[in-house]
């Protein structure tokens, strides 16, 4: 069950994001770089256009973030260069393509480790910027819109005691079902990368249970740096469950019909927008019916829900 403060925080977030129901609000955005940013950028720009005061906090070194944003952007220094980020990601991606089988464990070991260490370390740079932290504390934001992958948005929301809105395709490991207390029994719901369906044989269910047990053993190691940073910032020992349990709304960039059957909590919303490239006009010789992907849920569904 969500924390006791959930109804009030949920109401606050809904009033902030609903069009015509409240005055413009103040939204803090803690995004993730790379492809994660493409979809969130459209939402941020639309919220700003609708009159909300949006502040985006990003590292001074990034691939795409902060470019041509029509809102307030605050940057903080980090300990690595763009070349370091490129090198770590290239090594990680090249190795992943050469590996035929993927798993949660393969993402956090070997070549992947340096890349994820860089991503998680961004948050330490944010909180080392005392001037920026003081600005965030004094700004009286209404909510935090975040991507959970690098954990920093969760840390910021907990540090500022603000309602948090997760905007993501999925959550790694078991933190969704544990943090949101959303049932996802391994006998019926395949684990990420398992390649099973929801009609598993007995042996597939056994292996799915083993995959879940591997996650429970490995995921604390995967998020070790992120948890250490969170404990430093919050000045108390914390776990990933502590961070995810404080989330007010989960917004998933997918559709319910594309997910395996399972219960969802009231604060979990499927908003579509899996493919959020800006659509191009069709040529006169090419009818819309001939391009199936144009019928997929697009980002305007997310924008309508947010605004």
Task: Take residue 63 and report the two structure tokens written for it.
Answer: 């691939």
Check whether 192 has a pLDDT greater than 90: no
With respect to residue 214, please indicate whether it lies within any of the assigned structural domains: yes
Band (302; pLDDT cuts 50, 70, 90): very low
Domain-embedded: residue 262: yes
**Does 290 map to a domain?**
yes
pLDDT given for residue 156 in this prediction: 95
Q: What is the dihedral of CA 166, 172, 176, 182, to 10 degrees?
A: 130
The per-residue pLDDT for 134 is 94
Within 10 Å of residue 283's Cβ, how many Cβ atoms? 7
Tokens representing 293 are 């992907």
Query: Quick check: is 13 in a domain?
Result: yes
Would residue 1 count as lying in a domain?
A: no
pLDDT interval class at 84 (50, 70, 90): confident
Which structural domain, as residue segments, surrounds residue 104?
A: 6-275+284-306
Say what the pLDDT of residue 8 is. 42
The predicted model gives 88-110 an average pLDDT of: 63
- Tell me how many domains the chain contains: 1
> Which CATH number characterizes residue 206's domain?
3.40.50.2000
How does residue 150 score in pLDDT terms, banded at 50, 70 and 90? confident
Sequence-distant (6+) residues with CB within 8 A of 225 are 116, 117, 120, 121
What tokens were used for 257?
């019909």
Nearest to 152 by CA among 29, 44, 27, 30: 30
> What's the Cα-to-Cα distance from 136 to each of 45, 60, 126, 232, rounded to whole Å?
20, 17, 11, 18
Ranked by mean pLDDT, the top range of 10-24, 54-68, 156-170, 292-306 is 156-170
- Mean pLDDT of all residues belonging to the chain: 77
**Does residue 168 belong to any structural domain of this protein?**
yes
CA dist list (Å): 124 to 15, 37, 142, 170, 258: 32, 20, 23, 24, 36
Listing DSSP states for the chain in one string gives ---TTHHHHHHHHHHHHSTTSS---EEEEE--STHHHHHHHHHHHHHHHTT-EEEEEEESS-SSTTTT-SSEEEEE--SS-HHHHHHHHHHHHHHHHH-SS--HHHHSSTTHHHHHHHHHHHHHHHHH-HHHHHHHHHS--SEEEE-GGGSHHHHHHHHHT--EEEEES--STTHHHHHTT----TTTSPPTT----SS--HHHHHHHHHHHHHHHHHHHHHTHHHHHHHHHHHTS---HHHHHTT-SEEEESS-GGGSPS----TTEEE---SS-SPPPPPPTTS-GGG-GGGGS--HHHHHHHH-
> Which neighbouring-strand residues pair with 55?
28, 72
pLDDT at 21 over 50: no
Is 31 part of a structural domain of the chain? yes
Query: Residue 88 and residue 81: Cα distance in Å, rounded?
Result: 11
Answer whether residue 32 is part of any domain.
Answer: yes
Amino acid 294: pLDDT: 41
Asked whether the predicted pLDDT for residue 154 surpasses 90, the reply is yes
The reported pLDDT for the residue numbered 6 is 40
């Amino acid at each position: 069950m969500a924390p006791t403060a959930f109804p009030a925080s949920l109401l606050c977030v809904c009033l902030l994001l609903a069009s015509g129901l409240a005055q413009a609000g103040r939204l803090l955005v803690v995004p993730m770089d790379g492809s994660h940013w493409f979809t969130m950028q459209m939402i941020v720009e639309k919220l700003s256009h609708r009159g909300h005061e949006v502040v985006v906090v990003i590292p001074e070194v990034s691939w795409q973030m902060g470019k041509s944003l029509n809102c307030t952007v605050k940057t903080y220094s980090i300990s690595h260069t763009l070349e370091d980020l490129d090198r770590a990601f290239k090594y990680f991606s090249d190795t992943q393509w050469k590996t035929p089988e993927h798993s949660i464990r393969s993402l956090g070991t070997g070549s992947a480790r340096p890349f994820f260490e860089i991503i998680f370390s961004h948050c330490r740079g944010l909180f080392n910027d005392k001037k920026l932290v003081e600005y965030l504390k004094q700004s009286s934001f209404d909510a935090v819109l975040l991507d959970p992958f690098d954990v920093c948005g969760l840390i910021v929301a907990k540090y500022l005691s603000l309602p948090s809105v997760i905007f993501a395709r999925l959550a790694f490991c078991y933190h969704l079902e544990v943090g949101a207390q959303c049932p996802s029994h391994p006998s019926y719901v395949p684990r990420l990368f398992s390649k099973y369906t929801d009609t598993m044989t007995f042996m597939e269910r056994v292996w799915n249970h083993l995959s879940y047990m591997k996650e429970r053993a490995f995921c604390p190691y995967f998020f070790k740096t992120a948890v250490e940073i969170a404990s430093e910032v919050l000045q108390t020992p914390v776990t990933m469950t502590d961070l995810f349990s404080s989330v007010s709304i989960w917004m998933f960039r997918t559709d319910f019909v594309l997910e395996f059957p399972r219960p969802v909590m009231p604060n979990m919303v499927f908003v579509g927008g899996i493919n959020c490239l800006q659509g191009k006009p069709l040529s006169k010789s090419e009818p819309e019916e001939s391009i199936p992907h144009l019928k997929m849920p697009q980002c305007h569904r997310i924008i309508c829900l947010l605004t």
